[in-house]
Amino acid sequence: MRPIGIFDSGIGGLTVARAIANRLPNVPLIYFGDTAHLPYGDKSPELIRHYASHISLHLKEMRCQAIVVACNSASSNALEAIHETAGEDVAVIDVVQPVVQDVSRRFGGRRVGVIGTRATIESEGYQRQLSKSGCDVIALATPLLASAIEEGFHEGLVSEALLQAYLGQGTFDAVNALILGCTHYPLVADQIAALLPASVEIINSAELVADAVAQVVDLESNRTDTLDPTATMPLRQFLVSDLTVSFAQSAQRFFGEEVQLEESGLWEF
């Protein structure tokens, strides 16, 4: 049974992996967090493309039937390169398209906000695609947020102060929807909502991406009666390119259950 490969710069993409695991509990997942190179959000598009292509090739070589780009920075800057690497027999699902489709359908012609890393916002991917449905897009880079959340600051004073500094000016008070354009941000979604008027709908990509994945994967592979009891492959594998205690602790917060991280030898040091 061919697994689904999911990757992010670090462990934020586990919010997307969680939604996919809930939606397709019997399909094997391989998660790859490029912890040796995070944050991607401050890297150049060329470097993000280099990392993303290399990881995609690795997942393809692990026989993945689909590659989920659970990182907005990579989705916004490296999608073409990932498709080229994946080739025709491996589906590619990114985190931007499903959100753009949903928001365009429901908020076309209205005012929409998006926050994300510098790499995501400066690529202008969301802005370009949403403007096709007449959305008036207000975009803001919030570069310190992902690192703070990754460090465990996602429900107290630190994230509150950061969010106040980024959102407290009223920039998004008049939008109809605010897109969380970074897979780390669902962990502070409640704090974000508390800072904005109740009329602003907060858009979290995880469920939308899980729906998109369910449409392209081989649904036969989600049937329990086809599970091979002699299979040696674990149902879920969590690989990181640099394993530290802090990553191991944060991984559980992002995935919502105990996660056994393994170091992958992908990069030569």
Q: What are phi and psi of 172, to 5 degrees?
A: -110, 15
Q: Quick one: which of 40, 51, 107, 247 contacts ligand DGL (CB under 6 A)? A: 40
Token pair for 118: 């510098």
Q: Does 73 bind ligand DGL (CB under 6 A)?
A: yes
Q: Smaller CB distance to ligand DGL: residue 3 or 186?
A: 186
Q: Which residues contact 133 (CB under 8 A, 6 or more apart)?
A: 103, 104, 105, 107, 108, 109
Instruction: Tell me if residue 64 is catalytic.
Output: no
Q: Does 184 bind ligand DGL (CB under 6 A)?
A: yes
Residues 207, 18: Cα–Cα separation, whole Å: 9
Residue closest to ligand DGL, measured at CB? 41
Q: Does 12 bind ligand DGL (CB under 6 A)?
A: yes
Q: Smaller CB distance to ligand DGL: residue 1 or 72?
A: 72
Q: Does 141 bind ligand DGL (CB under 6 A)?
A: no
Token pair for 87: 């080739």
Token pair for 269: 């040091």
Applying CB under 6 A, the span of 56-64, 68-76, 164-172, 241-249 interacting with ligand DGL comes to 68-76
Catalytic residue among 21, 145, 182, 217: 182
Catalytic residue among 71, 96, 99, 149: 71
What is the residue-wise DSSP string for 18-70?
HHHHHHSTTS-EEEEE-TTT--STTS-HHHHHHHHHHHHHHHHHTT-SEEEE-
Q: What's the one-letter identity of residue 147?
A: S
Q: What residues act catalytically?
A: 71, 182
Residues that bind ligand DGL (CB under 6 A): 8-10, 12-13, 38-41, 71-73, 117, 120, 146, 182-184
